[in-house]
Amino acid sequence: MKVFQTDEIRNIALIGAAKSGKTTLAENMLFEGKMINRKGTVDDKNTLSDYRPIELERQISVNSSLLYTLHNDIKINILDAPGFSDYTGDILSSVSVADTAILLVNGQSGVEATTENAWRQADKTEKPVVFFINQLDHHNANFDEAVRQLKDYFGDKVTIAQYPVKTGEGFDSIIDLMFMKMLKFKQGGGAPEVLDIPDDELEKAEELRRKLIENAAEGDEALMEKYFENDTLSLDDTRLGIKLGMITRGIFPVFCGASKHGIGVYRLMDFVVYTCPSPDQVAPRKTTAGKEFHCKKAEPSALFIFKLSNEQHLGEVSLIKVYGGEIYEGQDLINPRTGNKERVSQLFIVNGKNREKVERVIAGDMAVTIKLKDARSNDSLMDPKAADAALEPIAYPEPVFVTAVKAASSTDDEKLGSVLQDMHRIDPTIIAALSREQRQLILQCQGEYHMNTVKWYLDNVHKLETIFYSPKIPYRETITKAARADYRHKKQSGGSGQFGEVHLMVQPYFEGYKDPTDFPVRGKEEHKLTWGGKLIFNNCIVGGSIDARFMPAILKGVMENLEEGPLTGSYARDIVVYVYDGKMHPVDSNEISFKLAGRHAFSDAFKNAGPKIMEPIHDFAVRMPEDMMGAVMTDLQGRRAIIMGMDSDGKYQIIKAKVPLAEMDRYSTSLSAITSGRGTFAMKFAEYAQVPGDVQSKLLKAYEEKLKEED
Ligand SMILES: Nc1nc2c(ncn2[C@@H]2O[C@H](COP(=O)(O)OP(=O)(O)O)[C@@H](O)[C@H]2O)c(=O)[nH]1
Ligand SMILES: [Mg+2]
């Protein structure tokens, strides 16, 4: 296998709506480059990029695939990304390591919600974007409308570089404004026939070309001058101008075709090779310490692991991009995250499921390696002399979907936990953690579809039967007034018995609360609770009615109650306790008796002290197209949301609100349904607030029933 130098490499990510034709385009690019001699199709389940069992079953891309093809001796690395927003993690990681994003638009549907999501990822990573309006062989494809929408959504830097002569069945000709020629393609692909632009298209073509040249030259003064002098630009200068414009994101050129039939594909590859930037021509990747890697061979070796994947016959592979120097077999590198050495054992150049061994990989190129000791997505491996900091990791999106999960058989719970941890290592947007408070394994991810993907792997790969259910809401319990209670714990069984009696009073804790004057406070302990709030525990015993040595046991009983509050079993907080009287038995009193007496006395007092349930309230913001605002608002009102304000952002509106977490179960699914996938939201814990009376009654009843069931 040839070793490709940095300037012989182009890295592109194919992104865009699901079903826009990314996988089909990739397959056709491979065919054009003679990497395959027969094209597979998504429908026949034999493409090189959708090869994983889940992808074959569902006929969609779930993971990004790394592929490559050749065009005029240049290696084009292709990342074929998924389209669904639930797989944004993979869309983002693909875009992050590519040097140009090719954003496919289905010519029948225009800008879809997932088109916008793909755009956002390219925007976030500040990548050059080329639009490819695809599927123009469909009778209802509409190029002009698609372009209108692109400009509408993404601004007027969206610039036509090509347009179709006639769309629909038989579509094969494209006017190319860079060449000022008409390209006529054969069904199935190949290099096009280059023809003069027909007379009746000339005026339109000239007008569009002017716009293209203006936008291309805009970023570069020398080019601008040349253009004004000669009223045109040479092909080389046009390419240079567009390249510079793409890098600074001053131009987003629009191409077109029908990838399934190879129409426009050869030319698009030509554009990738001659106009899209090579890896060392785009913005560098910084380290977390601010040092820059420009994909230059002279730099110290540095690679970034942008994805892990489990592959048949190989096991776990790491997909890498080389950001500096070169990587070769047997090389020792350092992982700055751990400080440990990693040896690069084997390197492969891959085409989806096919692979070929290589000895070295030069800066700018992508490859896979296997058998790393301790690798995660987002890790980097660095030359020992440059290992002080890692290459900047990808900032994955915050989770939008939360669920609890457990194994159908509790003996599998531990295995489930470790399988999910491993999934996180591979896909950082799958986050699982055991919540001590909720006593549940909580899974966070990018949507219900993403959750179903996790479940698919659990079912089919790990053979783990699981149950997904709503997570428990972390309520808090507290009191609103003072109350007293006595409790005597007494048990006579055989020889020794148990006896302990506790009289106590509770009152709410707040800054500046006052101790009662009925009894003296002889010892005061302040406990900061790990879940927030305080417990103040007062020893007010006079005359030795309870020995001081039993006080810790009483405190323990109270603490148990705080950890599993009397109303709903949630954490209780902000309470002052006064133990002011009690009784002992000379023989039968022991710690366990006083712990139990303390626990019951506290629980009884608590229930009489105007107890209330507090619920978590989140700061919330939702963004949706203007015309969907009414529907989103109505839905929010049904969720007890308090609207805090509104903002507009172009064609979008943003509603800010405070929402009770209890009402937001599976919100991402609802929002997606209400807004046809166009809405996005974010929320973050803000504070605890008292639940309304009717909600409290419901919660109390539910907990009582649960306790009865457990008895
Ligand atoms: N008629 C037509 N169908 C296409 C074209 N490109 C893709 N398709 C079909 O559209 C569907 C989705 O294509 P796929 O490549 O999986 O899209 P992806 O989800 O973007 O990867 C498949 O059935 C393809 O055969 C095209 O240019 N013309
Ligand atoms: Mg696909």
Question: How many angstroms separate the alpha carbon of residue 234 from the centre of ligand 1?
Answer: 35
Atom of ligand 1 nearest to the CA of 258: 27
595, 639: one domain: no
Question: Domain holding 438: CATH number?
Answer: 3.30.70.870
- Cα–Cα distance, 500 to 581 (Å, whole number): 11
| pLDDT at residue number 363 | 97
Ligand nearest to the CA of 55: 2
Residue type, 431: I
State the pLDDT confidence band at 513, using cuts at 50, 70 and 90.
Answer: very high
What residue spans of 350-503 are helical by DSSP H? Answer: 413-426, 448-460
Residue 395 pLDDT > 80, yes or no?
yes
| pLDDT at residue number 458 | 95
Question: Domain holding 183: CATH number?
Answer: 3.40.50.300
Ranges assigned E (strand) in 112-221: 129-134, 158-160, 162-164, 173-176, 181-184, 193-195
Task: Give the number of domains in the chain.
Answer: 5
**Could you count the other beta carbons within 10 Å of the beta carbon of residue 178?**
23
Residue 394 domain flag: no
Instruction: Confirm or reject: Cβ of 23 under 6 Å from ligand 1.
Output: yes
According to DSSP, residue 257 is labeled -
Atom of ligand 1 nearest to the CA of 83: 19
Instruction: Confirm or reject: Cβ of 595 under 6 Å from ligand 1.
Output: no
326, 465: one domain: no
The more confidently predicted of residues 711 and 4 is 4
Percent of the chain predicted with pLDDT > 70: 100
Residue 174 domain flag: yes
Instruction: Confirm or reject: Cβ of 260 under 6 Å from ligand 1.
Output: yes
Instruction: Confirm or reject: Cβ of 24 under 6 Å from ligand 1.
Output: yes
Q: Which residue of 24, 58, 61 sits with most ligand 1 atoms within 8 Å of its CB, as the best mutation to test the pocket?
A: 24
State the pLDDT confidence band at 312, using cuts at 50, 70 and 90.
Answer: confident
Question: How many angstroms separate the alpha carbon of residue 41 from the centre of ligand 1?
Answer: 8
Instruction: Confirm or reject: Cβ of 47 under 6 Å from ligand 1.
Output: no
Residue 260 domain flag: yes
Ligand nearest to the CA of 41: 1
Question: How many angstroms separate the alpha carbon of residue 247 from the centre of ligand 1?
Answer: 29
Instruction: Confirm or reject: Cβ of 21 under 6 Å from ligand 1.
Output: yes
Summarised one tens digit per residue, pLDDT across range 286-301 is 999 999 999 999 999 9
Tell me the helix, strand and coil percentages in the chain, rounded to 5.
30, 30, 35
- Cα–Cα distance, 80 to 26 (Å, whole number): 7
Instruction: Confirm or reject: Cβ of 599 under 6 Å from ligand 1.
Output: no
Q: Which domain holds residue 345?
A: 285-386
Instruction: Confirm or reject: Cβ of 538 under 6 Å from ligand 1.
Output: no
CB-based contacts of 498, cutoff 8 Å, min separation 6? 489, 490, 491, 588, 589, 590, 592, 593, 596
Lowest mean pLDDT among 85-89, 231-235, 440-444: 231-235
Ligand nearest to the CA of 51: 2
Question: How many angstroms separate the alpha carbon of residue 606 from the centre of ligand 1?
Answer: 64
Instruction: Confirm or reject: Cβ of 187 under 6 Å from ligand 1.
Output: no
Question: How many angstroms separate the alpha carbon of residue 18 from the centre of ligand 2?
Answer: 7
- Cα–Cα distance, 533 to 531 (Å, whole number): 7
Q: Which residue of 103, 171, 260 sits with most ligand 1 atoms within 8 Å of its CB, as the best mutation to test the pocket?
A: 260
Q: Whose CA is nearest to atom 13 of ligand 1?
A: 21
Residue 461 domain flag: yes
Question: How many angstroms separate the alpha carbon of residue 572 from the centre of ligand 2?
Answer: 50
| Residue 657, beta-bridge partner list | 620, 643
Summarised one tens digit per residue, pLDDT across range 493-505 is 767 789 999 999 9
222, 179: one domain: yes
Instruction: Confirm or reject: Cβ of 61 under 6 Å from ligand 1.
Output: yes
Atom of ligand 1 nearest to the CA of 27: 15
- Cα–Cα distance, 553 to 591 (Å, whole number): 5
Residue 484 pLDDT > 80, yes or no?
yes
State the pLDDT confidence band at 258, using cuts at 50, 70 and 90.
Answer: very high
Atom of ligand 1 nearest to the CA of 80: 21
Ligand nearest to the CA of 15: 1
Residue 705 domain flag: no
When pLDDT is averaged across residues 46-64 and rounded to a whole number, the result is 85
241, 106: one domain: yes
When pLDDT is averaged across residues 89-100 and rounded to a whole number, the result is 97
Instruction: Confirm or reject: Cβ of 69 under 6 Å from ligand 1.
Output: no
| pLDDT at residue number 419 | 96
Percent of the chain predicted with pLDDT > 90: 86
Instruction: Confirm or reject: Cβ of 15 under 6 Å from ligand 1.
Output: no
Q: What SS3 class is residue 281?
A: helix
Residue with tokens 């790393």: 372
Sign of CA pseudo-dihedral 392, 102, 197, 145: negative
Residue 708 domain flag: no
449, 573: one domain: no
79, 139: one domain: yes
Instruction: Confirm or reject: Cβ of 258 under 6 Å from ligand 1.
Output: yes
| pLDDT at residue number 218 | 85
Instruction: Confirm or reject: Cβ of 18 under 6 Å from ligand 1.
Output: yes
Question: How many angstroms separate the alpha carbon of residue 47 from the centre of ligand 2?
Answer: 10
- Cα–Cα distance, 441 to 228 (Å, whole number): 66
56, 144: one domain: yes
Q: Whose CA is nearest to atom 9 of ligand 1?
A: 21
Of the residues 265, 281, 297, which one is the last residue of a structural domain? 281
Of the residues 243, 262, 281, which one is the last residue of a structural domain? 281
State the pLDDT confidence band at 52, using cuts at 50, 70 and 90.
Answer: confident
277, 298: one domain: no
pTM of the model: 0.90
Atom of ligand 1 nearest to the CA of 16: 20
- Contact call for residues 642 and 658 (beta carbons, < 8 A): yes
Residue 704 domain flag: no
Dihedral in degrees, nearest 10, Cα atoms 304, 310, 314, 315:
100
Q: Whose CA is nearest to atom 14 of ligand 1?
A: 21
When pLDDT is averaged across residues 394-417 and rounded to a whole number, the result is 94
DSSP letter for each residue of 366-385: EEEEE--SS--TT-EEE-GG
Atom of ligand 1 nearest to the CA of 261: 27
Instruction: Confirm or reject: Cβ of 337 under 6 Å from ligand 1.
Output: no
Question: Domain holding 648: CATH number?
Answer: 3.30.70.240
Instruction: Confirm or reject: Cβ of 135 under 6 Å from ligand 1.
Output: yes
Question: How many angstroms separate the alpha carbon of residue 133 from the centre of ligand 1?
Answer: 12
Strand ordering across the sheet containing 431-435:
431-435, 440-445, 401-407, 466-469
Six token digits for residue 392: 């900047």
- Average confidence score pLDDT of the chain: 94
| pLDDT at residue number 250 | 94
Question: How many angstroms separate the alpha carbon of residue 104 from the centre of ligand 1?
Answer: 11
Q: Which residue of 42, 79, 261 sits with most ligand 1 atoms within 8 Å of its CB, as the best mutation to test the pocket?
A: 42
| pLDDT at residue number 179 | 96
262, 145: one domain: yes
State the pLDDT confidence band at 587, using cuts at 50, 70 and 90.
Answer: confident
Residue 214 pLDDT > 80, yes or no?
yes
Summarised one tens digit per residue, pLDDT across range 313-353 is 778 899 999 999 999 999 999 999 999 999 998 999 988 88
According to DSSP, residue 122 is labeled H
Question: Domain holding 354: CATH number?
Answer: 2.40.30.10
CB-based contacts of 379, cutoff 8 Å, min separation 6? 304, 305, 335, 337, 390
Residue 711 pLDDT > 80, yes or no?
no
Chain centroid to CA 160: 32
547, 642: one domain: no
Of the residues 281, 309, 328, which one is the last residue of a structural domain? 281
491, 565: one domain: yes
- Contact call for residues 80 and 64 (beta carbons, < 8 A): yes
Summarised one tens digit per residue, pLDDT across range 627-683 is 999 999 999 999 999 999 999 988 899 999 999 999 999 999 999 999 999 999 999
Residue 129 domain flag: yes
When pLDDT is averaged across residues 547-554 and rounded to a whole number, the result is 94
Instruction: Confirm or reject: Cβ of 138 under 6 Å from ligand 1.
Output: yes
643, 577: one domain: no
When pLDDT is averaged across residues 357-376 and rounded to a whole number, the result is 94
- Cα–Cα distance, 465 to 456 (Å, whole number): 10
